[in-house]
Amino acid sequence: MSARRRGRQFSLDDARWRLLLTGWMVALLFCGAWGRLLYLQTVKADALRSQAQRYGGLRKRTWTVYGTRGAIKDRRGNVLAMDVMSLSVHIRPKAVTDVRQLARRLSPIVGLPASDIERQIVQWKRRIEEAEQRKSVAQDDRSGASVPRSFFLKRELVGEKAKQMQEAVDQERQRLGKELGQLARSRARVQQTSWLDGVDILEEPCRQYPYGAIASALIGFTDSDERGLTGVEYLFEQTLRARHGLVEGVMGAKGQILVGTRVVRTPFRNGGDVQLAIDANIQNIAEECLQEVMERHQPAGACAVVMDVRSGDLLAVASMPRIDLNNWRQEVKRRGLGVMRNMATSFLFEPGSTLKPITIAAAMQAGVVGSGSSFYCNGSLKIGRHTIHCARHGGSRAHGHQRLEEVVAHSCNIATAQIGMRLGANALYEAVQRFGLLEKPVVGSEKGRLEKPDGWQRIRLANVAFGQGVQVTPLGLAAAYATIANDGVYVKPRLLLNEPVETHAVLSPQVARQMREYLKAVVGEGTGKLADVKGYEVAGKTGTAQKVIPGKRGYAPGKYVASFVGFAPADNPRIVVLVAVDEPRNGYFGGVVAAPAFARITERVLAYLGVPAQPDKKKNVSLSVR
């Protein structure tokens, strides 16, 4: 029987049976593997995920992807503020192995005494240990730790300092690498230490200002987290602000993110650019001329505005003193935050005589005075129980009989008060409004101040007519004079280049042109002779106003605001220029302090803009100024 079995041939049925058996075995193995995989990915998923995070957490990291804050540019595209990448020194105190060596190595780079660095690290370490003992140190970001585990020793290292920092780190890493190789060859078990222990060098964006101090009060600055704190940086924060992103992934052995593990948790977004209407070159001209005023007259502050007559573009908005924005922390600490006041937009002052042409133009527009009108000034005018006076250099205060042109040229208080009373309180208030003096000229500026005329007495009306009892900003006053220069059309000042042009009519072209002739006489033969510009015909007005005591009635003795505002060329105006000087010394009249600065700014700006000069124009310089 056994012989019969051994001799039995392999049949087709045997093959089918073996193939079927093999197929079932493979199917069972596949089902088992598939079932195990399904079990791991569903039932055991959470447990396995937590284990992976627990034991593989050192390789899982989160990176910040920095968005770039928008740039601030001038009208020609010159960058006034921009983001650059910087290095920041981040310290984990408990991981520091040699505090003294760390302080000694970092001191010359971060600009802090070694003793201060050492003290900071020791204090932070003590605070962290005390907090851990109280079990109040956060275990993760969501629990709200009362004491952070680390701190920034220095942020925003750029340029040469950043280069020094990077070189020091590279040298230390090379030293550690050589030591590690020697230890590996000798098979010695020695714990390596380094001054880099507990030190993280982070790369992050910071704000840089290529033009340094130019337009510092206008541009402003940001904090270390790039939040705008002052100036344009603050006013246009929503446009400029960037949003940083977060990327999560698992690090490979060489520090790369492993394929398939990169997850974008928060996408980044770059900020938008802001293009200002100012021209950096004109801004620099204005600030250089103001610096001369600061040195000669030592005032509390000074400002200048250069404005395009037709478009309203603010070509320069200069305020002094100024600071280097790249070192704003040290400057503000030394001089106070007041150094960042933009005097051109926030300084409220009584315009004094510079308001007189506006009063007279409004009266001409209303038809209550004209070119044939005449007035008499005997030096004083009694209104009820009050007496107002005129000021005139060289003897008597009286100006005598005057035509309207002479009233403007001589800056006569008495005649202007008479004109204001002819015009009336409501009409004068409306004129001040129409000239934009009570509005915000640009975003972030102050409004002018003048109470409604319902309760005005005659003396109040007279005072307002010649510029007392009303407060305006330098920028608002410049825009009002641009109205006269622009044939009676008010153009709202434009701080941004892409803003729409907003206009409204205030005066008829005839009245505006007549007032331009009167203002030419101020420079030619009146109180503004030192504002004359060689080669160009200039029109404008001086102002010498007493300073109001803040929060009280009356004026501060011996404190004045000297100003001059005008435009050129007078017959076809291109620019309006205003100069205001707060509490000057060595003279305080607008014709002495502000008019020469106006002349220097105007001459240089017109030449820069390519406005042709008139070589045959006569220049009349007199010392009879006010």
HEC readout, 212-224 = CCCCHHHHCCECC
The stretch 520-525 carries a mean pLDDT of 91
On whether both 166 and 225 belong to a single domain, the answer is no
The stretch 447-475 carries a mean pLDDT of 94
Q: 619 pLDDT exceeds 50?
A: no
On whether both 289 and 189 belong to a single domain, the answer is no
Report if residue 29 sits inside a domain: no
- The C-alpha atoms of residue 215 and residue 319 are separated, in whole angstroms, by 7
Residue 350 belongs to domain spanning: 280-325+341-609
Report if residue 11 sits inside a domain: no
Q: 2 pLDDT exceeds 60?
A: no
| pTM recorded for the entire structure | 0.81
On whether both 378 and 402 belong to a single domain, the answer is yes
Binned at pLDDT 50, 70 and 90, residue 155 comes out as confident
Q: Could you give phi then psi for residue 250, rounded to 5 degrees?
A: -105, 130
What residue spans of 493-560 are helical by DSSP H?
509-525
Q: 482 pLDDT exceeds 90?
A: yes
Angle between helices 280-297 and 595-609 (to 10 degrees): 160
The stretch 404-431 carries a mean pLDDT of 93
pLDDT in tens, 555-587: 889 999 999 999 999 999 999 999 999 999 999
DSSP letter for 197, please.
T
On whether both 495 and 536 belong to a single domain, the answer is yes
- The C-alpha atoms of residue 220 and residue 231 are separated, in whole angstroms, by 4
On whether both 286 and 250 belong to a single domain, the answer is no
On whether both 484 and 592 belong to a single domain, the answer is yes
- What is the model's pLDDT at position 282? 97
- The C-alpha atoms of residue 466 and residue 346 are separated, in whole angstroms, by 22
- What is the model's pLDDT at position 36? 83
Q: Of all residues in the chain, what percent carry a pLDDT higher than 70?
A: 89
On whether both 267 and 301 belong to a single domain, the answer is no
Bigger pLDDT: 130 vs 235 = 235
Helix (H) or strand (E) holding 25: helix 12-42
Neighbours of 453 (CB within 10 A): 17
**One-letter amino acid for residue 617 of the chain:** K
- What is the model's pLDDT at position 622? 35
Angle between helices 99-110 and 114-133 (to 10 degrees): 130
The stretch 208-224 carries a mean pLDDT of 95
- What is the model's pLDDT at position 77? 96
**Whether the Cβ atoms of residue 577 and residue 601 lie closer than 8 Å to each other:** yes
The stretch 311-320 carries a mean pLDDT of 97
**Whether the Cβ atoms of residue 320 and residue 597 lie closer than 8 Å to each other:** no
Q: Is 452 helix (H, G, I), strand (E, B) or coil?
A: coil
pLDDT in tens, 114-131: 999 999 999 998 888 888
Neighbours of 367 (CB within 10 A): 8
**Whether the Cβ atoms of residue 63 and residue 232 lie closer than 8 Å to each other:** no
Residue 68, token pair as written in the block:
């770039």
Helix (H) or strand (E) holding 54: helix 45-56
Domain boundary among 184, 202, 220: 202
Binned at pLDDT 50, 70 and 90, residue 624 comes out as very low
- What is the model's pLDDT at position 255? 55
- What is the model's pLDDT at position 33? 86
- What is the model's pLDDT at position 43? 79
Helix (H) or strand (E) holding 562: strand 555-568
Domain boundary among 181, 202, 223: 202
The stretch 171-198 carries a mean pLDDT of 75
On whether both 188 and 229 belong to a single domain, the answer is no
Binned at pLDDT 50, 70 and 90, residue 399 comes out as confident
What are the E-state strand segments in 95-198? Answer: 151-157
On whether both 219 and 319 belong to a single domain, the answer is no
Question: What CATH number has the domain bearing residue 119?
Answer: 3.30.1390
Residue 624 CB contacts under 8 Å (≥ 6 apart), including other chains = 393, 394, 527, 529
- What is the model's pLDDT at position 256? 63
Report if residue 442 sits inside a domain: yes
Binned at pLDDT 50, 70 and 90, residue 27 comes out as confident
On whether both 390 and 518 belong to a single domain, the answer is yes
**Sheet of strand 575-582, all strands in order from the earlier edge strand to the far edge:** 314-320, 301-308, 575-582, 555-568, 539-548
Binned at pLDDT 50, 70 and 90, residue 53 comes out as low
**Whether the Cβ atoms of residue 450 and residue 438 lie closer than 8 Å to each other:** yes
Binned at pLDDT 50, 70 and 90, residue 144 comes out as very low
Dihedral of the CA atoms 6, 7, 9, 13 (nearest 10)?
Answer: -50
The stretch 176-191 carries a mean pLDDT of 70
Report if residue 138 sits inside a domain: no
Question: What CATH number has the domain bearing residue 66?
Answer: 3.90.1310.10
pLDDT in tens, 262-311: 778 888 899 999 999 999 999 999 999 999 999 999 999 999 999 999 99
Q: 140 pLDDT exceeds 90?
A: no
Cα atoms in the Cβ-side hemisphere of radius 13 Å centred on 307: 34
- What is the model's pLDDT at position 138? 47
- What is the model's pLDDT at position 564? 97
Report if residue 34 sits inside a domain: no
Report if residue 109 sits inside a domain: yes
Q: 190 pLDDT exceeds 80?
A: no
Average pLDDT value for the chain:
87
Residue 534, token pair as written in the block:
């060689």
Helix (H) or strand (E) holding 295: helix 280-297
Q: 507 pLDDT exceeds 70?
A: yes
- As for how many domains the chain has, the answer is 3
Question: What CATH number has the domain bearing residue 358?
Answer: 3.40.710.10
Report if residue 539 sits inside a domain: yes
The stretch 425-430 carries a mean pLDDT of 96
Binned at pLDDT 50, 70 and 90, residue 6 comes out as low
- What is the model's pLDDT at position 139? 47
Estimate to the nearest angstrom the gap between the alpha carbon of 31 and the chain centroid.
69
On whether both 173 and 231 belong to a single domain, the answer is no
On whether both 215 and 293 belong to a single domain, the answer is no
Residue 198, token pair as written in the block:
């507990």
**Which of 531, 496, 586 has the alpha carbon at shortest distance from 272?**
496
DSSP letter for 349, please.
B
- What is the model's pLDDT at position 137? 45
Report if residue 396 sits inside a domain: yes
